[in-house]
């Protein structure tokens, strides 16, 4: 083991990290990275039970899979309960699960369905998990929340995904409010705001024209996002609480 790997392995030693949407994409990369840094990782999945179990088997010890549909009213509480039943404690919550869902403005039914689905998965579910995490952390003297938002939270999204951008903007505001409201309870809250990331969510949307317009000429690897999440999860920079880290390869610079 290199000196770098040895140092990394101590960052999250003894911590339990719950990663929603942890079976693939940014979530799977995050699960691997926090596990590498010594954490026990709880890999949440919605429908990809086989993929989640394969990831847990790959990681070996200090890894657990829990399922649950976060888009339902009871889903977030069920996932939180299962995580606690499996591990006894959660030290870090990573709200990664989400979906880039359309909300067609020219269709009454499509507009309403798009807003309902986006708010349920991209805002209400992480908000409820944040609530449960804050209550748990206050009892334990503190904890960390990392919410995965989007560059859309800052600039808005395209015309077909207005609800997605609005939901991610709400999640960003929630993160700031938690940081301001519960810092004295030892609760730290951060947001990361990726742009285009090489995941299934971007499949079909990334073409040569888009790549040509990116400053680095490529979409962001999930490992880059995971590295930032793991750093924030370590608590190494407490006074960064409330901040948003943009991960866009300079595609969107505030």
| Neighbouring C-beta atoms of residue 101, cutoff 10 Å | 20
DSSP of 83-115: HHHHHS--SEEEE---------TT-HHHHHHHH
User: What's the rounded Cα separation, in Å, for the pair 26 and 28?
Assistant: 6
Angle between helices 222-233 and 25-36 (to 10 degrees): 50
User: What's the rounded Cα separation, in Å, for the pair 86 and 36?
Assistant: 20
Strand order in the sheet with 40-45: 63-67, 40-45, 16-19, 92-95, 143-148, 187-194, 244-247
- The catalytic site residues sit at 150, 164, 168
């Amino acid at each position: 083991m290199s000196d770098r790997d040895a140092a990394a392995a101590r960052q999250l030693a003894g911590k339990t990290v719950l990663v929603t949407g942890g079976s693939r994409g940014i979530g799977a990369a995050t699960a691997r990275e926090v596990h590498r840094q010594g954490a026990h990782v709880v890999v949440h999945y919605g429908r990809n039970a086989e993929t989640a179990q394969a990831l847990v088997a790959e990681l070996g010890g200090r890894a657990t899979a829990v399922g649950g549909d976060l888009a339902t009213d009871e889903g977030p509480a069920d996932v939180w309960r299962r995580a606690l039943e499996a591990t006894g404690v959660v030290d870090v919550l990573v709200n990664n699960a989400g979906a880039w869902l359309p909300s067609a403005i020219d269709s009454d039914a499509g507009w309403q369905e798009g807003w309902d689905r986006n708010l349920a998965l991209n805002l209400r579910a992480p908000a409820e998990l944040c609530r449960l995490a804050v209550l748990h952390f206050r009892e334990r003297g503190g904890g960390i929340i990392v919410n995965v938002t989007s560059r859309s939270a800052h600039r808005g999204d395209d015309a077909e995904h207005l609800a997605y951008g609005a939901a991610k903007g709400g999640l960003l505001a929630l993160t700031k409010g938690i940081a301001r409201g519960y810092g004295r309870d030892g609760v730290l809250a951060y947001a990361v705001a990726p742009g285009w990331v090489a995941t299934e969510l971007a499949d079909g949307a990334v073409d040569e024209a888009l790549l040509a317009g990116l400053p680095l000429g490529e979409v962001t690897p999930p490992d880059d996002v995971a590295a930032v999440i793991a750093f924030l999860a370590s608590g190494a920079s407490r006074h960064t609480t409330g901040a948003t880290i943009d991960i866009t390869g300079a595609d969107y610079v505030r």
